[in-house]
Structure 1
Amino acid sequence: MPHAVIVAHGQPSDPEPAEASLAAFAQNVGALAPAVSVHSATLAAPGALETCLDALPDGTAIYPLFMARGWFVTSALPKRVGSRAVRILDPLGIDPDLPELAAAALHETLSDRGWPVEETDLVIAAHGSGRSPNPAKVTLDFSTNLGKLLQFNTIRVGFVEQPPSISEAASGSGHMAICLPFFACTGGHVLEDVPSELAHAGFSGAVTSVIGELPPIQKQIADRLTRALCP
C-alpha cells in the first residue's frame, strides 16, 4: 500500500495538541482513501516529520496542509525532507477545486438557516502576511472565484497579519452573515484571533469550520492522495 504524510505547521509553543489534532484529521482522510496509508506530522514538533518519513518507503507523498505556496512549503518543508525520495504535492490553498467545494459547504449552511444567498454577507477571515503578498493573493483569488459561484450580498476579506483586519471586514455585516475561516487547521488564530475580531465588529452571524476541515475538503484531499499514488 502506498503511503502519504499530511504536514501542517503546528503550534511551536505547545506542539502536542496540534500533533494529536492533525493525527485525527489524517485518520479521517485515510478513511476516505482506503487505498492509501495516511500519516501526519507537524513542522512545529521537533523531529516528528523526520521520524515519520524515516519509517516510510521511497515514493511516499507529502500533502502540505497549508493555504499558500509560501516559505513553509517552498523552503522549510523541503529542507526538513532533505534527500529523502518523497513527492511533495501542491498545498490545499491553491487547489483549483477549492472554491467549488467551499461553495457546496456554504450552500448547505445557507440552506440550514434558510438564508437567501443574495441577502447574506460572507466574511472570509484569513491569515495574510506582513512580509509576502502571496498569502493575501491566494485568499483574494479564492474569494473572486467563489463569488462567481455564489452571489452573496457582499464578500468581505479580512486578515490577522495585514490590513484590512477581520473586524474591519466584518463591521456592518447584517444578521444574515457567514464567516468562513480561510485556514487549513484549527489553531490559535482560529480559536483566539478570529473570535476576538468578530466580537469587536459586533458580528452576530454563523461561523463555519475552517476550510480545511469542511467535509468536502477532506474528501478532496483523500481523492488527491489516491490519484497521486494510485494512478
Structure 2
Amino acid sequence: MPHALIVAHGQPSDPIPAEQALAAYAAEVDALCDGVTVHSATLAAPGIFEQRMAELTDDAVIYPLFMAKGWFVTSALPKRLAGRNLRILDPLGVDPDLPSLVAAALRDTLHENRWTAEETDLVLAAHGSGRSRNPSAVARTFANDLAQHLPFKSMHLGFVEEPPSIAEAAAGLSARALCLPYFACNGGHVLDDVPQDLNAAAFKGLVTPVVGELPRIKHHIAATLSHLLHRT
C-alpha cells in the first residue's frame, strides 16, 4: 500500500502536544484516503521525522502542512531528507483549489448563521514574517482569490509578525463578522496570539477553525493523496 507523510512545523518549546495533534490529524486523513497509509511528523519533535522517514518506501510522498512555500518547505525539509529521494508535494497554502474550498466552507458558516457574504465582514488572521515577504504575499494572494468567490462586505488582512496587526484588522467591526485564521495547524499563534489580538480589538464576530482544520480541506488532502499515489 502506498504511503504519505504529513509534515508540519510543530512547537519547538513544547513539541509533544503538537506532535500528538498532528498524529490525530493524519489519522483523520488516513481514514478518508482510498488505499493510502498516512503518517505524520513535526519538524520540531526531536528524532520523530527521521524515524517516520526511515519507515517509508522510496515511492512515498511528503505533504507539507504549511501555508507558504518558504524556507521550511524549500530548504529545511529537503535537508532533513538526508539524501532520500522522496517527493515533496506543494504545501497546502499554495494549492490552487484552496480559495474555492475555503469559500465553500465559509458559505456553510454563513448559511448556518443566516448571514450573507454581502452583509458580513471577514478578517483573515495570518502569520506574516519580519524576515521574509513570502508568507504575507501568499496570504494576500489568497485573500484576492477568495474575494473572487465570495463578495464579503469587507475583507481585512492582519498578521502576527508584521503590520497591520490582527487587532488593527479586526477593529471597529460589527458582530456580523467572521475571522478566519489563515494557518495550517492549531499552534501557539492560533491559541494565544490570535485570540489576544481579537480581544484587544473587541471583536464580536465568529472565529472559524484554522484553514487546515476545515473538514473540506481534510477531504481534499485525502483525495489528493489517493489520486496521486494510485496514479503513480
What is the DSSP-based 3-state SS (H/G/I as helix, E as strand, rest coil) of the residue aligned with 1:93? helix
Q: Which residue of 1 aligns with 2:132?
A: 132
Residue 116 of structure 1: how far off its partner (Å): 1.7
Q: Which residues of 2 match residues 188-227 of structure 1 at below 5 A?
A: 188-227=188-227
Q: What CA distance in whole angstroms lies between the structure 2 residues aligned with 1:205 and 1:102? A: 18
Q: Which residue of 2 aligns with 1:123?
A: 123
> What is the aligned residue count?
231
Unaligned runs of 5+ in 1: none
Q: Please say if 1:183 is aligned against 2:183.
A: yes
Q: Please say if 1:32 is aligned against 2:32.
A: yes
Q: Please say if 1:79 is aligned against 2:79.
A: yes
Question: What CA RMSD, in Å, does the superposition of the two structures yield over aligned residues?
Answer: 0.6
Q: Which residues of 2 match residues 31-110 of structure 1 at below 5 A?
A: 31-110=31-110
Task: Point out the more displaced range, 2-11 or 81-90.
Answer: 81-90
TM-score, with normalisation over the residues of structure 2? Answer: 0.98
Q: Is the 8 A contact 1:60 1:85 kept in 2?
A: no
Residue 227 of structure 1: how far off its partner (Å): 2.0
Residue 117 of structure 1: how far off its partner (Å): 1.1
Q: Which residue of 2 aligns with 1:11?
A: 11
Unaligned runs of 5+ in 2: none
CA deviation profile, 1:16-72 (whole Å, cap 9, x unmatched) = 100100000000001111310000000000111111011121111000000000000
What is the DSSP-based 3-state SS (H/G/I as helix, E as strand, rest coil) of the residue aligned with 1:163? coil
CA deviation profile, 1:63-121 (whole Å, cap 9, x unmatched) = 00000000000111001012112110000000000000000110011011111211100
Q: Which residue of 1 aligns with 2:163?
A: 163
CA deviation profile, 1:181-213 (whole Å, cap 9, x unmatched) = 000000000000000000000101000000001
Q: Percent identity?
A: 61
Q: Which residue of 2 aligns with 1:153?
A: 153
Residue 159 of structure 1: how far off its partner (Å): 0.2
Where does structure 1 differ by over 6 angstroms across 4 or more consecutive aligned residues?
none
**Aligned AA (1:15):** P
Q: What CA distance in whole angstroms lies between the structure 2 residues aligned with 1:138 and 1:213? A: 19
